[in-house]
């Protein structure tokens, strides 16, 4: 029932006038956000599990009946509804660009329409987060990064999806316990200021925590006075060392992280605690991490929350779901497209072809027709055939490795935080021709 009412009203009308019509829809991003040079596809696993379980329950139908808008015949149709079409998609973790179909649905038009909102919603969230998170990973130059976003994600559902998407993009773990339980992502946790404040003295709080977790203690040092906090952490570090334990890290959450981290590194090293890591958090994102590391901040790991978990500079993608072909009376698929001002789409059943150089580096993508002869590796693969899921989603760690290896083939100019380079996506000759001839034809026909 997670759909927009118009999918059902259109379906009711299709049910009476177009029951046997089939159509192809493309799900794609019209334009990349200004500060993105690539996107990472994410969300397919959830979409496949949705398609598998898609049903209308008796309760759902009762609710719809009460809207006094739907015919008995159509509600009966819904009671038996399942998805029977074909779907082609980019695997999770694939790099893609504007106008390239991420998902291509060919199905009876009612079915293709009813799944619209779920597909858009799922792809939008997870792709947006994976894409943002991979920028954070790239900016951190091999240091560890952890997802701390739960408190500011848009609900609990978004919370676990942010953990999953950022892990795929290369994050090392999450603070979100439910995501750890659901997906087996490593979970991490330090302490809050409230912990420190619940003791009379900061040192007492540090002592209690490190006695509880002698091998897994990260001390938050900025509750009162960061430099004094660092000295207290050193006392604890030495106390643990005497007992053959190792203080894991200290955490800086405010103030000038560049100078404080250098200061802390120096103090820790002089005290013989060179193995103690420095963890930074507090409003971080790829831009801030880039600046910190350029200024040689002595930080080993980052906790990244709100800015990643809401994709704060681009909290949505321009993701749309557009019909590209539809059958005529005889059942033959005919290409179609939209002519609305500033919103023209590409017609026909399409494929994305990726061209690489001899070393495997990406050169360009060609957006072409599925059956067109185009050089390059076709990226869309068949994942659903006549309603049956024929694709087995890889493990999270496999997707994560795939992202790492595929990102290594994207030329560096597209990966720097402030890059203004635009990866070339070329429209094939046949698709170009089809588009212009169809535009004329459609305009004339109206």
- Scan residues 16-35 and list those touching a copy of itself (CB under 8 A): 16-18, 21, 23, 25
What phi and psi, each to the nearest 5 degrees, are found at residue 71? Answer: -80, 155
Using the contact rule CB under 8 A, the part of the chain among 85-93, 153-161, 238-246, 364-372 near a copy of itself is: 153-161
Does position 189 interact with a copy of itself (CB under 8 A)? The reply is: yes
Q: Which of 31, 55, 65, 192 binds a copy of itself (CB under 8 A)?
A: 192
Measured from the CB atom, the residue of 18 and 246 that comes closer to a copy of itself is 18
How many CB atoms within 10 Å of residue 429? 13
Site string for a copy of itself, 265-294 (x = CB under 8 A): ------------------------------
Q: Map the footprint of a copy of itself across residues 318-347, applying CB under 8 A.
A: 319, 321-323, 326, 328, 336-343
Measured from the CB atom, the residue of 178 and 410 that comes closer to a copy of itself is 178
| Cα 435 from Cα 420, distance rounded (Å) | 29
Q: How far is the CB of 414 from a copy of itself (least distance, A)?
A: 25
Cα–Cα distances (Å) from 421 to 35, 64, 139, 313, 337, in that order, read: 11, 49, 17, 18, 29
Measured from the CB atom, the residue of 1 and 358 that comes closer to a copy of itself is 1
Q: How far is the CB of 128 from a copy of itself (least distance, A)?
A: 8
Asked if 22 contacts 331 with a C-beta cutoff of 8 angstroms, the reply is yes
How many CB atoms within 10 Å of residue 52? 13
Q: How far is the CB of 232 from a copy of itself (least distance, A)?
A: 8
Q: Map the footprint of a copy of itself across residues 227-256, applying CB under 8 A.
A: 228, 253-255
Q: How far is the CB of 211 from a copy of itself (least distance, A)?
A: 8
Cα–Cα distances (Å) from 292 to 172, 312, 347, 443, in that order, read: 19, 19, 46, 55
Q: Which of 153, 281, 301, 428 binds a copy of itself (CB under 8 A)?
A: 153
| Cα 379 from Cα 100, distance rounded (Å) | 10
Q: Which of 34, 244, 330, 443 binds a copy of itself (CB under 8 A)?
A: 443
Does position 52 interact with a copy of itself (CB under 8 A)? The reply is: no
SS3 category, 285: coil
First to last CA, the chain: 35
Measured from the CB atom, the residue of 170 and 335 that comes closer to a copy of itself is 335
Q: Map the footprint of a copy of itself across residues 402-421, applying CB under 8 A.
A: none
| Cα 27 from Cα 365, distance rounded (Å) | 17
Residue in the block written with tokens 């009460």? 66
SS3 category, 208: helix
Q: List, edge to edge, every strand of the sheet that includes 362-369.
A: 377-378, 350-356, 362-369, 425-427
Does position 222 interact with a copy of itself (CB under 8 A)? The reply is: yes
What phi and psi, each to the nearest 5 degrees, are found at residue 176? Answer: -80, 110
Measured from the CB atom, the residue of 251 and 354 that comes closer to a copy of itself is 251
Measured from the CB atom, the residue of 200 and 244 that comes closer to a copy of itself is 200
Q: Which residues contact 258 (CB under 8 A, 6 or more apart)?
A: 292, 295, 296, 297
Asked if 220 contacts 198 with a C-beta cutoff of 8 angstroms, the reply is no
Helix axes 286-294, 116-139, angle to 10 degrees: 10
DSSP 393: P
Q: Which of 216, 241, 246, 364 binds a copy of itself (CB under 8 A)?
A: 216
Q: Map the footprint of a copy of itself across residues 90-129, applying CB under 8 A.
A: 109, 113, 116-118, 120-122, 124-125
Q: How far is the CB of 385 from a copy of itself (least distance, A)?
A: 23
Q: How far is the CB of 96 from a copy of itself (least distance, A)?
A: 18
Distance of CA 14 to the CA centre of its chain: 33
| Residues near a copy of itself (CB under 8 A), total | 109
Measured from the CB atom, the residue of 191 and 380 that comes closer to a copy of itself is 191
Using the contact rule CB under 8 A, the part of the chain among 97-105, 303-311, 362-370, 398-406 near a copy of itself is: 303-311
């Amino acid at each position: 029932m997670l759909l927009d009412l118009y999918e059902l009203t259109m379906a009711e009308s299709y049910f009476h006038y177009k029951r046997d019509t089939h159509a192809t829809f493309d799900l794609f991003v019209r334009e990349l956000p200004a500060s993105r040079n690539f996107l990472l596809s994410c969300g397919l696993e959830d979409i496949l599990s949705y398609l598998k379980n898609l049903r209308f329950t008796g309760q759902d139908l009762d609710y719809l009946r009460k809207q006094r808008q739907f015919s008995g015949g159509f509600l009966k149709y819904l009671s038996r509804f399942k998805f029977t079409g074909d779907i082609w998609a980019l695997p999770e973790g694939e790099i893609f660009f504007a106008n390239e179909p991420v998902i291509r649905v060919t199905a009876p038009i009612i079915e293709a329409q009813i799944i619209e909102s779920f597909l858009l919603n799922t792809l939008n969230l997870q792709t947006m987060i994976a894409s943002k998170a991979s920028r954070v990973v790239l900016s951190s130059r091999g240091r560890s990064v952890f997802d701390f976003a739960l408190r500011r994600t848009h609900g609990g559902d978004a919370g676990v999806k942010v953990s999953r998407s950022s892990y795929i993009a290369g994050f090392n773990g999450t603070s979100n316990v439910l995501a750890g339980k659901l997906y087996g992502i490593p979970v991490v946790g330090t302490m809050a200021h409230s912990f420190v404040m619940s003791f009379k003295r900061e040192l007492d709080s540090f002592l209690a925590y490190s006695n509880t977790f002698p091998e897994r203690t990260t001390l938050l040092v900025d509750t009162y006075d960061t430099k004094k906090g660092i000295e207290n952490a050193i006392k604890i570090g030495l106390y643990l060392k005497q007992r053959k334990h190792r203080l894991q890290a200290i955490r800086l959450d405010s103030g000038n992280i560049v100078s404080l981290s250098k200061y802390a590194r120096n103090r820790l090293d002089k005290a013989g605690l060179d193995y103690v890591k420095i963890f930074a958090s507090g409003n971080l994102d790829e831009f801030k991490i880039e600046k910190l590391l350029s200024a040689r901040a002595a930080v080993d790991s980052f906790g990244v929350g709100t800015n990643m978990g809401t994709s704060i500079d681009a909290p949505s993608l321009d993701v749309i779901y557009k019909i590209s072909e539809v059958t005529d009376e005889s059942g033959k698929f005919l290409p179609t497209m939209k002519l609305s001002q500033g919103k023209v789409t590409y017609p026909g059943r399409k494929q994305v072809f990726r061209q690489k150089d001899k070393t495997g580096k990406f050169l360009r993508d060609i957006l072409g027709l599925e059956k067109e002869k185009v050089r390059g590796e076709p990226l869309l693969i068949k994942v659903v055939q006549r309603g049956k899921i024929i694709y087995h989603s890889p493990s999270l760690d496999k997707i994560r490795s795939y992202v790492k290896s595929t990102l290594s083939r994207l030329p560096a100019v597209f990966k720097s935080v402030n890059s203004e380079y635009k990866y070339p996506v070329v429209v094939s000759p046949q698709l170009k021709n089809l588009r212009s001839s169809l535009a004329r034809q459609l305009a004339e026909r109206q």
